[in-house]
A and B are shown apart, each in its own frame.
Chain A
Amino acid sequence: MQKITRDQLITKAVELLSNGTVSAVLGWKKGEFDYDITPAVFTTEEEINNGFVYNDFCGANFSKYLVAKTKKLEGKILVFLKPCDSYSFNQLLTEHRFDREKVYAVGIGCEGMADVVKLKNKVDGIVSIDYNDDGMYVDTLYDGTVKVDYAEVMAERCINCKSKKCVAYDELLGEDGEVIDSARFDEVASLEAMTPDERFAFWQGELSRCIRCNACRDACPACTCEKCVFDNPGSGVENKAPVTSFEEQMFHIIRAFHVAGRCTDCGECSRVCPQNIPLHLLNRKFIKDMNECYGEYQAGAEVGSRAPLVDYTEGDLEPGEVFERGENDA
């Protein structure tokens, strides 16, 4: 359950709209179902009062929307940044992807978001959800009202939350948190500890589900290229519909490589994947390797930092030594 309430956000949004600070508000609205929340732009108080929602399914990272929205809009846009989103926000500023002057950012604390898939695995036929202090009360078609603990359905990325600290905002609602010493790399480490055959089998099992819908790319706040190489006929790797089985691997490896050092580990890729492929494990592998080889680095922690792959030192590990390092650790 979020400490920040919908009412708080609406009050803030309406205040900023009416005093002219912003001309639009980037927020969440209800989709087809209660748990199916979509991002929306609101421009009037009325729209906000009718449509604005905020609950445990408002996981979407809004930073990316700023790239397009700030270019189109006259005046400022209000964006609510959860800690995760604030890292992406900074990273996009580092890459000069939008004009900071055109954004009014309100930082909001986050208690961890729920995972729709986890919820659906627990209860069938969801009609509506009531958020109470002691848990969600889910009204269902078949089983009446079912109570679900927040912890039971918390998203993996939130269980392994890396930071509750908002690193960018003009104004903060509620209290700021701290960077957390999370266990987010444990799963990567357990994969690393497997034999190559086991790893191969694991990834084969995961990646074979990919349908190349591009949702991961479209949601990723690091994937804001004006034209993605996979959409560009001149790049030599364009493939909307895969021709060979290999192209998915290529897509996921290249995508992970392109965002390496820029990925803030917000977990949107895995959240939006309709096939539930744990794509964040690819990104976290890069983050873990870079942390271990080139020193701790958190993309987006500050604006203007130099990512490990656009930097070097004379004494860096050789590629072969990077393998050996894994060996010694094991």
Chain B
Amino acid sequence: MQMKEYKPLIVAFCCNWCSYAGADLAGNNRLNYPADVKIIRVPCSCRVNPMFILRAFQRGADGVILCGCHPGDCHYTSGNYYTRRRMAMLFSMLDYLGIERERTRVEWVSAAEGAKFAATMNDFVEKVTALGENKRLEDLRCKR
């Protein structure tokens, strides 16, 4: 029996005003990126609770990426500034626990940056694929 090719599971949270529109633009321009990426629409990147990210990992996601408007361009003026601080701290903590830092990412993608969106997703999927399945968060507790 042939081993099934490893496909990572990627959850992408995109803000409605910039990054989700950027993802739509990638579609309009037919810019390919792996189907492993599944997008969840949120009004603003600052809506993303660390709990959502951990929940995704809990349920088997291999990578989580957060996309929002560029700093200074937030539809709600300041949401992504808070996102930046929260995620910087959360990701640093995950790194501290020994979770591979390539599994988490924040990227600023504007509504005009369809190409950046596709490129970012290609790159992220490649990096996560190289890491393989996410076992660490699951295993953090179980010393074998």
Contact = CB atoms under 8 A, between A and B. Distances in A.
Interface of A: 188, 191-192, 196-205, 207-208, 210, 229, 236-237, 244-250, 253-254, 256-257, 260, 282, 285-286, 289-290, 293-294, 308-314, 316-323, 326
Contacts, number: 144
B97 A319 contact: no
A257 B85 contact: no
B85 A286 contact: no
B97 A199 contact: yes
A207 to B, nearest CB: 5
A236 B141 contact: no
Given A248-B141, A249-B140, A200 B55 contact: no
Contacts of B89: 257, 260, 286, 289-290, 293, 309, 322
A248 B55 CA distance: 12
Interface string B102-144: 0011100000000000000000000000000000111111110
Contact of B55 (A199, A237, A322, A326): A237
A38 B96 CA distance: 34
Q: How large is the interface on B (under 10, 10 to 19, 20 to 34, 35 or more residues)?
A: 35 or more
B50 A254 contact: yes
Interface of B: 50-51, 54-55, 57-58, 71-72, 78, 81-82, 84-101, 104-106, 136-143
A312 B98 contact: no
Given A200-B97, A200-B98, A318-B84, A205 B143 contact: yes
A203 B98 contact: yes
Given A236-B51, A314-B72, A199 B85 contact: no
A253 B106 contact: no
A204 B139 contact: yes
Q: Which 8 interchain pairs have the tightest Cβ spacing?
A: A200-B98, A312-B81, A199-B98, A319-B88, A208-B143, A322-B88, A246-B58, A319-B106
A138 B66 CA distance: 57
B113 to A, nearest CB: 16
Nearest to A203: B97
Contact of A308 (B85, B96, B139): B85
B84 to A, nearest CB: 5
Contact of A285 (B50, B78, B88, B92): B92
Among A192, A207, A246, A320: residue with most chain B CB under 10 A? A246
Contacts of B88: 289, 293, 316-319, 321-322
Contacts of A313: 81
Given A257-B90, A309-B86, A196 B106 contact: no
Given A257-B89, A260-B89, A244 B97 contact: no
Contacts of A191: 96
A229 B87 CA distance: 20
Given A244-B58, A253-B50, A309-B89, A316 B84 contact: yes
Nearest to B101: A323
A282 B89 CA distance: 11
A208 B138 CA distance: 11
Given A204-B143, A246-B58, 16 more contacts: A196-B101, A207-B141, A245-B141, A247-B58, A253-B54, A260-B89, A282-B93, A289-B88, A293-B89, A309-B86, A311-B85, A312-B81, A312-B85, A318-B84, A321-B88, A322-B89
Nearest to A315: B71
A317 B85 CA distance: 8
B137 A246 contact: yes
Contacts of B81: 312-314, 316
B91 A319 contact: yes
A256 B97 CA distance: 12
A248 B138 CA distance: 10
B54 A250 contact: yes
